[in-house]
Structure 1
Amino acid sequence: MPEPPASPILRPRADASAVCRPAGCRSASAMAARPRLHYPNGRGRMESVRWVLAAAGVEFDEEFLETKEQLQKLQDGEHLLFQQVPMVEIDGMKLVQTRSILHYIAEKHQLFGKDLKERTLIDMYVEGTLDLLEMLIMHPFLKPEDQPKEVVHMAQKAIIRYFPVFEKVLRGHGQNFLVGNQLSLADVILLQTILALEEKIPNILSTFPFLQEYTVKLSNIPTIKRFLEPGSKKKPPPDDVYVRTVYNIFMS
């Protein structure tokens, strides 16, 4: 399921009572509202957004898409810049395109480094990890007979291409986080991906001791620990109901 870019960044008016953009003005109350996430009730590409908001300690609401008609209503109302979700209502904007959404939240909540060099490192790590995460996102939509082979392929990619990079980074600087010795978007997306892979391949970190320790430490950060507990807005692994819902909304 493809997706869309972000609306223009808003600038405060001189009186700071409202925010304007080409489509009109948003009040200060809109800026203070909790983010609202529009997506089916499952992981998909929205799960990274949930992870980053949770890591930042931000409460959010969700409006689950369950029918093609709900998607059509958003499209007809010009709420989706490229006619696709994920879409997040935040700070008076309707943001689309997963990476744009992640960047905005990370920048707003000090999860995107302290300077250009750190932001670029974070971006590189995130882009690499998202390549691996995309395989996990698409896995439940493969033919059942192809899924076991794809798990083997994912494991090989992780163990040969991706995890050695992060193991080397952590071993090299001896710090708790990938960049700047503070939690960043890169850490959040990597932890999300590691834990999702461990659901399918429990011993996938067996040859990566630094990543093992890193995973335990990140999982015990209070905001992340709460997100990992039962009853949070973290979504379970995709099941047949989620797959059917996605097909009915986007492919019927």
Structure 2
Amino acid sequence: MSGKPKLHYFNGRGRMESIRWLLGAAGVEFEECFLETKDDLIKLQKDGSLLFQQVPMVEIDGMKMAQSRAIGNYIAAKYNLYGKDLKERALIDMYVEAIIDLNELLMTHPFQPADKKEQHFATIVDKATNRYFPVYEKSFKARISNIPTIKKFLQPGSQRKPPLQEKDVPKLMKIFH
């Protein structure tokens, strides 16, 4: 096994995207093993690779880590991206938790029943506009996007994934249901 972290997930953003961003911010190259079929997921489940029988899973430092927040915390601490003291870590955790809340809304939108999509979208827009974006717009975005490793990750050709499209949902349903 190479020294690069190996990410196991489908070929899309989902819960793995924040981990890709974090590795990108640390300037760490990584490999990806995409789940293409239900059998790919079952194989990982049966061979004991998935502690809680679900992905994302990251192989790093001889471990097979599950749970996206645990993975993120490990990578942040390993590469000195998790603050210099408890107060900075608490602030980082608050920003991360807010992103997770918003991301959950975004990730579940394609799976909403047709008659609920419009209301769900309105909820996303309201919370994003009034709750989350104002916090991140107070100089956070400009400062972060100018960090050289982040700037590189945002360029075309990086391992950053495009947003989930409606056309991708049936494929994901075959893998995860």
Same fold by TM-score, threshold 0.5 exceeded? yes
Say which is worse superposed, 232-241 or 214-223, in terms of deviation.
214-223
Which residue does 1:225 correspond to in 2?
151
Equivalent residue of 2:8, what SS?
Answer: strand
Aligned residue among 34, 51, 55 for 2:4: 34
Give the CA deviation at 1:140.
1.7
Cα distance, 1:149 vs. partner?
Answer: 2.8
Alpha-carbon offset, residue 130 of structure 1: 1.0
Q: Does 1:216 align with 2:138?
A: no
- Which residue is 2:171 aligned to? 245
- The alignment's C-alpha RMSD in Å is 1.7
Corresponding letter in the other structure for 2:82: F
CA distances 1:78-137 after superposition (whole Å, capped 9, x unpaired): 000011100000010000001000000000111111112221221122112211111111
Corresponding position of 2:73: 103
Q: 2:86 and 2:140 mapped to 1: Cα distance? A: 25
Q: Structure 2: where are the runs of 5+ without partners?
A: none
Contact 1:36/1:60 (CA < 8 Å) preserved in 2?
Answer: yes
User: Which residue type is aligned with residue 158 of structure 2?
Assistant: S
**TM score, norm. by length of structure 1:** 0.66
Instruction: Say yes or no: does 1:160 pair with 2:130.
Output: yes
Contact 1:42 1:242 survives alignment (8 Å)? no
Matched, 1:132 2:58: no
Greater fraction of residues in helix: 2
The separation in 2 between residues aligned to 1:157 and 1:243, in whole angstroms, is 24
Q: What TM-score do the two structures reach when normalised by structure 2?
A: 0.92
3-state SS, counterpart of residue 38 of structure 1: strand
SS at match of 1:94: strand
Amino acid corresponding to residue 232 of structure 1 in structure 2: S
Q: Does 1:235 align with 2:161?
A: yes
Q: Which structure has the greater CA radius of gyration?
A: 1
- Rounded Cα–Cα distance in structure 1 between residues aligned with 2:170 and 2:87: 43
3-state secondary structure, aligned to 2:32? strand
If asked which structure has higher relative contact order (CA below 8 Å, sep 6+), I would say 2
Q: Is the partner of 2:162 in helix, strand or coil?
A: coil
Q: After superposition, what is the alpha-carbon deviation per residue over 1:39-58, rounded to whole angstroms, capped at 9, x for unaligned?
A: 00011111111111111111
Gaps of 5+ in 1: 1-29, 168-210
Instruction: Tell me, in whole angstroms, the C-alpha distance in 2 between the residues paired with 1:83 and 1:76.
Output: 9
1:17-166 equivalences under 5 Å are: 33-164=3-134, 166=135
In the other structure, the counterpart of 1:19 is none
**What CA deviation, in whole Å up to 9, does each residue of 1:183-233 have, x standing for no partner?**
xxxxxxxxxxxxxxxxxxxxxxxxxxxx17432332222111111111111
Query: How many aligned positions are there?
Result: 177
- In structure 2, give the amino acid aligned to 1:50: R
